[in-house]
Structure 1
Amino acid sequence: MLKKIAYITLFALTFSSCSDTLDDINKNPNATETPLAPYLLTGTLKQGADLYWGDVNNFNSSLLFVQHWAKIQYTEPDRYDVSNASFTTLWDKGYSTLITDLNTIINFPDAQANSNYKGIALTLRSWTFLLLTDAYGSIPYKEAGLKVTPAYNTQKEVYTGLLEDLKQAQSLLATANGTVTGDLAYKGDILKWKKLVNSLRLRIALKIADKEPVLAKQAAIEATTDPAGVISNNSEIFRFVYTSSPQQNPASAWFETRDDFRISKTMVDKLYEFSDPRLAVFAQLPSDASVGKYVGGANGLSNSDANSQGFAKTSKPGTYFLTSASPAVFVSYSETLFNLAEATARGYIAGDAEQLYKNAITASLNQFGITDATVVANYLNQPTVQYDATNYAKSIGTQKWIAFYGQGLDAFAEWRRLDYPVLTAGPATVLDGQIPSRFFYPGTEQSLNGNSYQAAISVQGKDLLTTKLWFDAK
């Protein structure tokens, strides 16, 4: 018996010793035990760019809904024949990756992240929540990252909460508050981050304008009178610049191996109607040289009808969007000017709405490489392009839809809010002639967060693609 106890004791000591040794052996001497703010920031920007510009949330869904792109084969997403499994990426990556990593930076002690890191993280978290609520509606916001089964907040609560979050972000950001590395968007330029904060505040002000006009006006005034200003030229665009494979633009990677998208006929026809010089940037001529002009693919066709348009006789999206280093634009100077024009047209701020509208179009033309002053002036002077003060939503909505080309999630949000241009669902679509108004919630929400999910849809409406969201329900 004593011998047996001795063996057990020896075995236990040996196992403990081996365990300690294995722990030491399995440590990676090149890895950090503590996450570092610069690495988290870099990773968030890259993953955010992939999420925003990638296939699931952009060119295989929202770009189809707003008829920027169309499918020439595998047309199910273009016919809205999708399930709740089709929209999980924005939700899953948004919460489990972006918001989780940004919360880590926000909660770091000052020794690990100065207040500029925290202000940037809060800004990026606000941008992520904005994408989520624009797409789904009610979402976990206040309890996100704090509970396993977080409650949902209404879209109104999310928007108003984000306005406060961005105020806090602005208060954290200052050139005297320390340097920032790992910033692949603004290279640590805190003044540009401060302008972005105000530009996002202005964006949200207009999101709530039809529902909460008093608060919207107050938010617009605060955003535009803040000393930091808003994005004021194309060099201040908030974007992520890709490089070469494997760090390439997602659309570029897609077209290396697949050929199932075309620029939408709706977009091509509108650009021809306006004699718009951006057409040569947005589209490629068909590979069949005998066609000799840009030809868009129709949206919402059956697979056979889409195929019959001819792969060689229709236009792919422009090479500007399909090269490895094509930038992922998140917030443009053009958008900010359109927002200023609308805020002025609504009487929220002082200014010349028509001139701001013209400046916004000019900024978009310049962004896409069209800088000849005569070309710009000729475009602006066309009757079809000139500002209509009696229907600012039509003028701004149509031109904003063009300027947002490639930015599916935001183009989708603004098209629903402004209702222009008027789009028609394709002939083989499955929603009785309607175009989607939102994304489905992921199916995992029903199984893993069922009570919160049920409470949300009882207020917002059924979990359908056609359920209008708070900001869109006029």
Structure 2
Amino acid sequence: MKKTSLYIGLTALLISASSCENGFDQLNTNPTATMALNPVFTFNNAIVNTAFPSQILIFEEPIVQQMFSPNSGIISGGNFNIDNRGSAGANAALWQRYYRDNVRYLVDVLAKTKSDANRSNLYNMARILKAYVSMVLTDTYGDVPYSEAGLGYLGLNITPKYDTQESIYNDIIKELTEAPAALDASKTIESADIMYAGDVTKWKRLAASTLLRAGMRLSKVNPALAQSTVQKAVAAGLMQSNADNFAVRNNSNYQNPVGVTLNSTEAANYYLTGNFVTYLKTTADPRLTAIAVRYVGAKSGPEQTTARANRDPSVQIGMPLGFDNGTIGARATADGLASFYDYSQLDRTRMGGLTAPNFLVTYAQTQLLLAEAAQRGWTTGNAADFYNAGVTAHMKQLADYGPATVIADADIATYLQKNPYVAANGLALINTQYWVASFLNGPEAFANFRRSGFPVLTPNPYPGKEIKGNFINRLSYPDAEISVNQTKVTEAITRQGPDNLDTRVWWDKQ
């Protein structure tokens, strides 16, 4: 009897459990939750993550001699002309950020919108952004994954092939020509887009201005293609003012990566170079007032206080290259300074602030590239007019950092009068201004320096360099990538050249 009762109890329990399972999925599903993520939000995530990682302070900024550190360890790199891979992995930072947080998301957006006629504008906006991101990657490393990039997320392809830089550029040009042409203001406007609120005209102008940049990048390796690409870009309609700038507008939730670094662990480690400060002072450039601060008399990081802060351009002294932590002290003494902490820095309360914007493609850069194109006879217009417009635009762009960095119109006019465009020295003048206008856009300043050869910089004399030449030509591939995709990386190295800082990318011809 007891055994029978036990069986009956178990049977009832099982029946009860079975009936409870019916509708379990419905009971545990939030009826108000979104079942699918709107791809425009994924797109926005990609936009936010185009802000460059702080490691541009380790490589690109020191290479083009705008900022550097005399200290070694994990921040070694362009300051000493040595590689920084392994556990520190500064060479990998841009790779990881752009493939993981840009390309992956953009490939997902493209997959979700390609066949959706209602989202054709988002699809083509993603094509434009992916072309920009891919240009930064290939300019930095050379041959990189492109046609199969991002497919690890969608198709489990974790060993993508490396495309040649030439083929990547050919496709970038195609994408920046076709995608903006397909944008249509009569179709769904992606108003949630955090860059331009879905403004089709602004996305078209970004595409054309990026196409102009791509065309000029080929000026040494393929002048004919460079010229025809420039002409396509001009015909498509370039940026018309600073209102068209492609910039990540940071805030308290999404802070500027460089600003975070400069306002925390590395606050006392990075300094404006002597070459950069001297150029700005020699030309009486009003931008120096917006850029620099010097903590006069500081003998340590803690002594870099507000009371010591001096932003007067006349007192700014950039740190000379060629010194490390063991030798910079004596040089500072020779320069009449209290210590190396007394040299000029990027003002981390303004342009180096936590919420400072990241400028990626700008009207100022576009006008300066137009000036060079006109100087070369590749487009119509007056090179001097484009030059003046480019310099003016960058000086006015600084107002976006806040009221303390506004440059008065009268100061801009005075500067242009004292530093006029001279056609005989046109390429040097244009590209030196491009160097200034690309300050804090390390990858672009690095790329245009290699492409144009300007400004003319004295090689960093630090004796412990690992490079054979005078300047770093590319960044090496990340160790993590080599470990998981060795066969494809080896194919790229065999084709391109040794995986070191001396190997030139395809368009960087001597």
Return the TM-score normalized by structure 2: 0.83
- The question of 1:63 aligning with 2:61 is answered yes
Match of residue 472 from structure 2: 436
Contact 2:287 2:407 (8 Å CA) reproduced: no
Of residues 424, 427, 436 in structure 1, which corresponds to 2:462? 427
Q: Output one character per residue of 1:229-282: Cα deviation in whole Å (capped at 9) or x when no partner.
A: 1111111111111112x4222233223322211112211011011111100111
What is aligned with 1:367?
Answer: 397
Map of 1:232 onto structure 2: 240
Query: 2:361 maps to which residue?
Result: 331
The equivalences for 1:258-277 within 5 A come to 258=265, 259=267, 260-277=269-286
Shift of 1:336: 0.3
Q: Where has structure 1 moved over 6 Å in runs of 4 or more?
A: 9-26
Query: What's the offset of the Cα at 1:14?
Result: 10
Question: Larger deviation: 295-304 or 173-182?
Answer: 295-304
Query: Which of 125, 129, 133 is 2:130 aligned to?
Result: 125
Distance 1:28 1:388, change over 3 A: farther
Give 1:305 shift.
2.5
Give the secondary-structure state (helix, strand or coil) at the position aligned to 1:402.
helix
Deviations 1:9-52 (A, max 9, x none): 99999999999998778767776442312211221111122xx2
**CA 256–467 in structure 1, closer or farther in 2 if over 3 Å, else same:** same
May I ask how many residue pairs the two structures share in their alignment?
A: 460
Name the amino acid aligned to 1:374.
A
Could you tell me which residue of structure 1 aligns to residue 420 of structure 2?
386
Q: Per-residue CA shift, 1:77-105, capped at 9, x if unaligned?
A: 22133226322222223223311211121
> Max radius of gyration: which structure?
2
Alpha carbons 2:118, 2:187 under 8 Å: kept? no
Shift of 1:307: 5.4
What is the alpha-carbon distance in structure 2 between the residues aligned to residue 150 and residue 98 of structure 1? 16
Residues 108 and 236 from structure 1, CA distance in 2 versus in 1: closer, same or farther, beyond 3 angstroms? Answer: same
1:345 to 351, 367, 375: 375
Distance 1:211 1:263 in 2: 33
Give the gaps of 5 or more residues in structure 2.
Answer: 1-10, 152-156, 298-307, 333-338, 400-405
The aligned amino acid for 2:376 is: R
Report if the CA contact (8 A) 1:55-1:250 is conserved. yes
> Structure 1 residues 372 and 142, CA, compared in 2 at 3 Å: closer, same or farther?
same
Encode CA deviations 1:286-334: one digit per residue, 9 max, x unaligned.
2435987112123342222345642541122023322232111111111
1:58-137 mapped onto 2 (5 Å cutoff): 58-74=56-72, 76-77=76-77, 78-81=79-82, 82-83=84-85, 85-109=89-113, 111=116, 114-137=119-142
Structure 2 residue 468 is the aligned partner of structure 1 residue 468: no
**Counterpart mapping for 1:141-156 below 5 A:** 141-146=146-151, 147-156=157-166
Q: Which residue of 1 aligns with 2:44?
A: 42
**Structure 1 residues 397 and 18, CA, compared in 2 at 3 Å: closer, same or farther?**
farther
Deviation at 1:199, TM superposition (A): 0.4
| Amino acid paired to 1:283 | A
In 2, distance between residues paired with 1:311 and 1:10? Answer: 82
Asked if 2 retains the 8 angstrom alpha-carbon contact of 1:36 and 1:112, the reply is no
Q: 1:450: which partner in 2?
A: 486
What is the aligned counterpart of 2:434 among 400, 423, 435?
400
CA distance in 1, matches of 2:171, 2:494: 22
> What do residues 134-165 of structure 1 show as CA deviations (whole Å, max 9, x unaligned)?
10011111222344322212111111110101
1:158–1:391 CA distance, 2 compared to 1 (3 A): farther
* CA distance 1:251–1:103, change in 2 (3 Å): same
8 A Cα contact 1:208 1:471, kept in partner: yes
- Go from structure 1 to structure 2 and tell me whether the alpha carbon gap of 1:37 and 1:113 turns closer, same or farther (over 3 Å shift): farther
Residues 156, 208 of structure 1: 8 Å contact kept: no
CA offset digits 1:196-231 (Å, max 9, x no partner): 0100111101111211122211111111112xx111
Say whether residues 1:183 and 2:193 are aligned partners. Answer: yes
Number of the residue aligned with 2:300: none
Q: In 1, distance between residues paired with 2:231 and 2:123? A: 25
- Judged with a 3 Å threshold, the aligned counterparts in structure 2 of structure 1 residues 342 and 32 are, in CA distance, closer, same or farther, namely same
Query: Which structure is richer in relative contact order (CA contacts within 8 A, separation 6 or more)?
Result: 1
Within the candidate set 316, 319, 334, 1:294 is matched to 316
SS in 2 for 1:457: helix
- Residue 224 (structure 2) aligns with: 214
In the alignment, which residue of structure 2 is the partner of 1:169?
A: 179
Pairing 1:281-320 to 2, within 5 Å after superposition: 281-288=290-297, 289=308, 293-306=315-328, 309=332, 310-318=339-347, 319-320=349-350
Task: State the Cα deviation string for residues 37-68 of structure 1 (Å, max 9, x = none).
Answer: 2211221111122xx2x212x22221111111
How far apart, CA to CA, are the structure 2 residues paired with 1:221 and 1:13?
A: 76
Helix, strand or coil at the partner of 1:79: coil
- Report the alpha carbon displacement of residue 360 of structure 1 after superposing the two structures with TM: 0.9
**Judging changes above 3 Å, is the alpha-carbon distance between structure 1 residues 307 and 131 closer, same or farther for their aligned structure 2 residues?**
farther
SS in 1 for 2:372: helix
Q: Cα gap change, 1:16/1:354 in structure 2, threshold over 3 Å: closer, same or farther?
A: farther
Q: 1:21 to 1:205 in 2, by over 3 A?
A: same
Identity of aligned residues (%): 28
CA RMSD in angstroms comes to: 2.9
Q: Which residue identity does 1:88 align to in structure 2? A: A
